[in-house]
Amino acid sequence: MPDNAPVDRGSLRKQVVETERRHAIATLLGNYGIPLADILFKPGDTELIHTPTHEYFVFGIGRLSDNLIQTAYCSRMEQSGESRFASGITFADVFDRFRNWCANLHQYTRMIATYRNAADPFEVAARAFTGTELAKAASALPNDSLTASELTRISAQLSELKQYLIQNGDVQGDKMAIVDAKVDYLIQASERLGKKDWSNVFITTLISIIIAGIFAPDRAQELMDYGASLFAFLFQPYLVP
């Protein structure tokens, strides 16, 4: 276009505003660690698609440069599964919602990366239990009351279990309180339950420790074997040959 050609100020403004907003969108995606290569957002579009998950965000009907957006946004990550629409709102309003969408997408993609191919902790724990010393003895134990000496030894061995979890597990944050609560519960249960019932509670507690993420599922067998060794004085006499 010649330098002296008349400028369509309306078209120029729309072009500049749309480019500015697309830059703001790209920056926000980058802030949340969402690669632009994963985004389908063609010039002139108002619908942005995250191709790996097919999640999408609709900025509005019309052009991205419009002052008033006819449609607010649409995302399948909403728990209701419904699209949310509003008329006559500004781009700034929509951008705030887009920020929330980016945060949710960031969390969602992290969940996918963590759990998509992760083993089911319940299945891992169940497999780890099968064939252990605990499994062999569980069905054979009588339900006699625990003796005073056995109660004293159980308390001491549970302290050993606690130290083992601290040294070999993940007790960061609130997980340490979970460990304390489980150990206290096992001590209290030993005072009112018979041997067989208490052994079942102990086994269930070990599995729950794995489920809570305190001990890695792929090390479930290790935890089960250690638990059996701690309480061999209870289980060993009743092992099935």
How far does CA 121 lie from the centroid of its chain? Answer: 13
Q: Is the pLDDT of residue 78 over 60?
A: no
Q: Which amino acid is at 43?
A: P
pLDDT, residue 1, reads: 47
The pLDDT, as a whole number, for residue 188 is 95
Range of the domain at 105: 9-115
Give yes or no: residues 103 and 162 share one domain: no
Same domain, 97 and 181: no
- CA–CA distance from 124 to each of 114, 145, 213, 227 (Å)? 16, 32, 12, 16
Domains contained in the chain, number: 2
Place of tokens 């108002």: 46
The pLDDT value recorded for residue 71 is: 44
Give the angle 45-71-107 at the CA atoms, nearest 5°. Answer: 75
H runs (alpha helix) in 32-69:
none
95/16 same-domain check:
yes
Same domain, yes or no: 70 and 105: yes
101 and 146 fall within a common domain: no
- Residue pair 143/68 in contact by the 8 Å Cβ criterion: no
How many alpha carbons lie under 13 Å from residue 126 in its C-beta half-sphere?
A: 5
In a domain, 20, yes or no: yes
**Same domain? 139 vs 227:** yes
Nearest of 35, 49, 42 to residue 18 by alpha carbon: 42
Q: Is position 2 within any domain?
A: no
Instruction: Tell me whether residue 210 is in a domain.
Output: yes
Instruction: Answer with the residue of higher pLDDT: 225 or 150.
Output: 150
